A and B are shown apart, each in its own frame.
Chain A
Amino acid sequence: MEQTLVKFYQTGTFTVGNRLLAPEQRSLQSGAARSNSLNSGHRACQGCGEALGARYAIDAAMAATNGQLIAANATGCLEVFSTPYPETSWQMPWIHSLFGNTAAVATGIAAAMKAKGRSEVRVVAQGGDGGTTDIGFGCLSGMFERNDDVLYICYDNEAYMNTGVQRSSATPPAARTATTMPVGPNPGNEFGQGKNVPQIAMAHEIPYVATATVADLRDLEYKVTKAMSMHGARYIHIFVPCPLGWGAASHDTIKLSRLAVESGVFPVFEAERGEVTGVLKIRRQVPVEEYLKPQRRFAHLFGKKPDVATLARLQARADRNIRRFGLLGE
């Protein structure tokens, strides 16, 4: 009988997927040797996408460097929930300096290691979308253009969640935030604004840029591992739903991430030296409504009389991503 190659989805967690895979294909997180760098007991909200993303990303980076890793962290949720004095959840050398300087602090750590001849010690920097795409952007771009030996990880939950859900340059159009309320003739965040930092990172022609989501944690681990096998400036942008800020159920974090990918709202790809080298194809395309509906930040688009015009514009944005990155087909 002819053997069919079975493709397993959802193999990044403790779910059945891992047990069906060969040991070497299993998630690092499913192994007992995982470093638990971001240890349990922190104060993240239930269903926090950032905590999940950080746990997988940093443990993967720790595994890739045999534990010879130092992290610089921007001000934000991740910093606040992981290090309320006198506690820390970090089982690794970790520094928080300011909101907007994390990439530069990481550059300094990497420079110190180089000057001291400790080439085995590697550096990651991490922050939320506000700390990355807005206030930390100058330092980030500087780190990129100098090609400093740093992996920068952005956990993108599309607004300033730590300060109470204000708009960032990563907030999508139409989304309600505390500073883009669903009132007036154009409710929610404006269309035609915002910046695409993965693509801006690619424009710096740095060795590696990738996007990932917490819906495919094995893919996230793979990308972090790959990034750590390289030197120079690297950037991974991880889509991490925020139940509190998005008005979503805490058990929907993974589902929303998957719907963002399957609708084309968030393209998952990797790029080397400015060229796209791979994309995660959409398995079963869904309309953007399916992604938007479970989130109260988009509730004003639905109700008794759906805002079909705005929904069409959001669908057009997703369709453009699908075209641009070739997200459909095998």
Chain B
Amino acid sequence: MLEQCEGSHAVAKAVALSRPEVICAYPISPQTHIVEGLGEMVKSGDLTPCEFINVESEFAALSVAIGASAAGARSYTATASQGLLFMAEAVYNASGLGLPIVMTVANRAIGAPINIWNDHTDSMSMRDAGWLQIFAETNQEALDLHIQAFKIAEELSLPVMVCMDGFILTHAYERVDMPSQEQVDKFLPPYEPRQVLDPNDPVTIGAMVGPEAFTEVRYLAHAKQMQALDLIPQIAAEFKKEFGRDSGGLIKTYKTEDAETIVIALGSVLGTIKDTVDDLRAEGVKVGVLGITSYRPFPISAIRDATANAKRIVVIEKCFAVGIGGIVSRDVRSAVRNRPQPVLTVVAGLGGRAITKTSVHKLLLDAIADKLELLTFLDLDWDVVNRVLDREKSQRRSGPIAEGILRDMGNLATQVV
């Protein structure tokens, strides 16, 4: 059924339709509306049987989900940014134990400086934690991916992180096609755990493993993610059959067949890039877009095949690894290894900075003219940067960087007298 609603509301409803049995909630922007919605559904009795637990931290949120999942319950939580870092130890633990928890990450920058706006630094910090990570482009896809995520997670007995851009998606009102309970029930059967804490058939979960078997345990985690490279497209196809929509999969391409330049990105920015590509195509520029939906497992073959004929690849990523550069682009480079095509890293949209069509348009023309360096920071204000560098050269006590920048920029809020 079509409805106009907030992205968070769409996700809350999709999660509820997936019949979770335990939900753990801890507030952090911009994820909060999702668990608020679920809390109301549990409290009103619309979502039952389900336990909704208001925990004292994100570390506890995921830990409660770990206990619930190990006891055989379909378990869900949501977080963002600092919250994901605070639960980091449990993030690794959930995947190490092989527990099919589904968690939404409403992508947000990580401080300091504290910043509540969107980028992908949070999810990327956990890219090696053993979770599957799937990125939504639109609210409809966020909704659809959550329903698929439970099925993927439970099939593999691995946790899945559904990543959606904070505010840009979570707080945007858009039309979504909300499936019925009957449809979701048909697609997603009740959870049948591979391992479960049950007094009638006792098992030990979480034993200490030494050098004699640790490598094997870790390899099996990798092997399962490799299985996911087949499973994710298969479940996307099943989803299409039931719901009639293309959602999920490993990657999606747009006008890449004859493209000399292919832009790679994740999440909601793909919309802006596609619009820019349409404009450039109208100007006769052969450019296309590749969206990565499954970042973990990383679809090396799919990306390699889809970019085989391109002259260059531009990766626009909302994150970066301080001290080296791109994160996504390094993975893309491993996909296109031994090919002459350059992979250009563009760091953009950090801490919620808008990625505009104008900037992307100019960026791509520069790339095509071979004027782009290997690492570019889109719309970086060099004046601001240089003022700080000059100040640090000229005075020892140059002060806190972020506050200095805001003062330089004339931000009134910092002019406290």
On A, residues with C-beta under 8 Å from B are: 67-70, 72-73, 79-80, 83-88, 90-98, 100-101, 104-117, 121, 138-139, 141-142, 145-146, 148
Contacts and interface: CB of A to CB of B under 8 A. Distances in A.
A146 B66 CA distance: 18
Contact of B73 (A96, A116, A148): A116
B72 A67 contact: no
A93 B199 contact: yes
Chain B, interface size: which category? 35 or more
Given A98-B89, A115-B49, A116-B21, A70 B63 contact: no
Given A86-B213, A101-B90, A115-B51, A108 B199 contact: no
Given A83-B207, A107-B64, A112-B51, 14 more contacts: A70-B71, A87-B207, A95-B67, A96-B205, A96-B208, A98-B93, A105-B70, A107-B55, A107-B67, A108-B70, A111-B73, A114-B51, A142-B57, A145-B56
Interface string B172-213: 000000000000000000000000011101111111111011
B53 interface: yes
Contacts of A84: 207-208, 210
A124 to B, nearest CB: 12
B49 A85 contact: no
A108 B67 CA distance: 4
A115 B65 contact: no
Nearest to B67: A108
Contacts of A73: 206
Contact of B202 (A90, A108, A139): A90
Given A98-B90, A115-B50, A105 B207 contact: no
Contact of B64 (A68, A98, A111, A113): A111
Contact of A68 (B75, B199, B201): B199
Given A70-B197, A93-B202, A108-B22, A85 B71 contact: no
Contact of A112 (B67, B208, B213): B67
A97 B202 contact: no
A141 B59 CA distance: 13
A158 B206 CA distance: 25
A138 B56 contact: yes
Given A95-B70, A105-B66, A116-B49, A142 B207 contact: no
Contacts of A112: 21-22, 51, 67-69, 71-73, 75
Contacts of A108: 22, 24, 53, 63-71, 73, 75
B175 to A, nearest CB: 33
